[in-house]
Structure 1
């Protein structure tokens, strides 16, 4: 079961599709193996990057069952939904299937601190014993969750064991949360998103690792390992080598198409298809990604990686 000590790299997994939009189950197997081989210590599925909103309830459970059957690493399932009923149903089914925990983002209609707190109180009740990740991603949800509200939720809800930190800018939030735990508040795991854009600084601020979908999960694993080994200089060198690709992936509205293209090029999935409606890369953009990948490989070779 997921708990407050979780660390490392929980890769946010894509959902592979065939060119006609059907789920590509063979690619799910390949993708899971690929993520683990590249250093993932856990997987998070049915998140925003997993196009969860484009799947039926039946398809969602098909993906959950297939991923869990393929891997022995912890699997976190995104169960965010407009209402508690769908959240409760998917969470129970996922936990029964062997998931380690679930992830919940706030609904976009939450505006006040009290509304946010009440929402997570209700989520914790319907999730029961399932440990959950609080997803803090204001750029996508439109909901800003202040540090004191996160601390209140953590204090009120023992099953909240992890924060997926995706605020931007948000480094000060990590510092404040770690200062609070040092002062006696319950310490939970903090894994960070944003495509790895700020991973190095986030780890140095006290985060426990990454929970994001950058198409090169080995970058996160290598940076986290170097920092943990006390070699900040090497961590910076590795991070810098991947930064042009991280930057290119960060384009709003196109990032997932770029990631799926890269994953297909790397053999992790068979097709770069996004389920409709979804973006696609044109030939110019694909060529730009190819050039970045070539230069990235050359930079890493010089570092002996």
Structure 2
């Protein structure tokens, strides 16, 4: 039996860049140390927040190796493997070096807009191509297609190594329906920082977090309080960050969290096209809130 080990605070790891656009491996290494010291329960690498579509194969391989080496088996590592060509994803999975990787995160196929049956067969093929645990990723705002609760539950029942879903539909009714109908050994993980508090209260087991790159200690504390049933204290932390949640995504992800990390002196504020840094007005608002929160 394959179980979900991706619980608590997961970090949707950014990719820092130097001023010349090259990957800043030194800052990445320091960032991983910082997150491990401050409550990270697992890492999610080479996914959306890591600007993975704009990385070369060599860069992705080097980033994966660096994270595996730095983590040293202390926490699980979830690695992004997705695409809108099912056969290509299956072949990539079969040939990939997955040494040190604890599971794979696979996003709904984007652009093609498949039916629910197409989504089911796509993920069934991916699950059949690996023995590692598979975490589904539903993010209709990016992919153009929503995987329904019924399709998610069907996959959870039919594919024993599909262990969880990162739900970023923003639809709490859908999340609740999955949690109500899912098998006991299948978990829901929040894919939206702003909805982590209500999702955990409904039964989600954690988050794959963007803000956790910058504020792992605070965000992991909120999650742990909620797991312990201390909802009032957890809600207080959630509401402290409400304004930040909106600002982090107003100019696209990971522009907001990179601006935060730059303000904290941890990385350079550089993204790869077609993504660009936050607007000056957003940066000023972020800076003001961070001062108020004493970050």
Q: TM over 0.5, yes or no?
A: yes
Instruction: Give runs of ≥4 in structure 1 deviating > 4 Å.
Output: 92-95
Q: Which residues in structure 2 correspond to 1:88-127 (within 5 Å)?
A: 88=90, 90-91=92-93, 96-108=98-110, 109-126=112-129
Aligned to 1:35: 35
Q: Secondary structure at the match of 2:275?
A: coil
Q: Which residues in structure 2 correspond to 1:114-263 (within 5 Å)?
A: 114-126=117-129, 128-168=130-170, 170-181=171-182, 185-194=183-192, 196-214=193-211, 215-251=214-250, 253-263=251-261
Tell me the TM-score normalized by structure 1. 0.88
Aligned residues: 290
Question: What CA distance in whole angstroms lies between the structure 2 residues aligned with 1:112 and 1:92?
Answer: 25
| Contact 1:199 1:220 (8 Å CA) reproduced | no
Question: What CA distance in whole angstroms lies between the structure 1 residues aligned with 2:169 and 2:206?
Answer: 15
Q: Is it true that 1:62 corresponds to 2:62 in the alignment? A: yes
| Contact 1:44 1:75 (8 Å CA) reproduced | yes
Which runs of 5 or more structure 1 residues have no equivalent in the other structure?
299-305
Q: Secondary structure at the match of 1:250?
A: helix
Which runs of 5 or more structure 2 residues have no equivalent in the other structure?
none
Q: Secondary structure at the match of 2:105?
A: strand
RMSD over aligned CA atoms reads: 2.0
Question: What CA distance in whole angstroms lies between the structure 2 residues aligned with 1:146 and 1:139?
Answer: 14
Aligned to 2:271: 274
Aligned to 1:26: 26
Deviation at 1:262, TM superposition (A): 0.7
Q: Is it true that 1:296 corresponds to 2:293 in the alignment? A: yes
| Contact 1:10 1:42 (8 Å CA) reproduced | yes
Alignment deviations for residues 119-141 of structure 1 (CA, whole Å, 9 cap, x no partner)? 11111222x21211100111111
Alignment deviations for residues 189-213 of structure 1 (CA, whole Å, 9 cap, x no partner)? 221122x111111110000011121
Q: Secondary structure at the match of 2:11?
A: strand
Tell me the TM-score normalized by structure 2. 0.91
Distance 1:207 1:66, change over 3 A: same
Moved more, 65-74 or 255-264: 255-264
| Contact 2:82 2:106 (8 Å CA) reproduced | yes
Q: Secondary structure at the match of 1:103?
A: strand
Question: What CA distance in whole angstroms lies between the structure 2 residues aligned with 1:23 and 1:90?
Answer: 23
Distance 1:75 1:91, change over 3 A: farther
Deviation at 1:256, TM superposition (A): 1.6
Deviation at 1:94, TM superposition (A): 5.7
Alignment deviations for residues 20-43 of structure 1 (CA, whole Å, 9 cap, x no partner)? 111111011011112222211000
| Contact 2:5 2:76 (8 Å CA) reproduced | no
Question: What CA distance in whole angstroms lies between the structure 2 residues aligned with 1:213 and 1:130?
Answer: 24
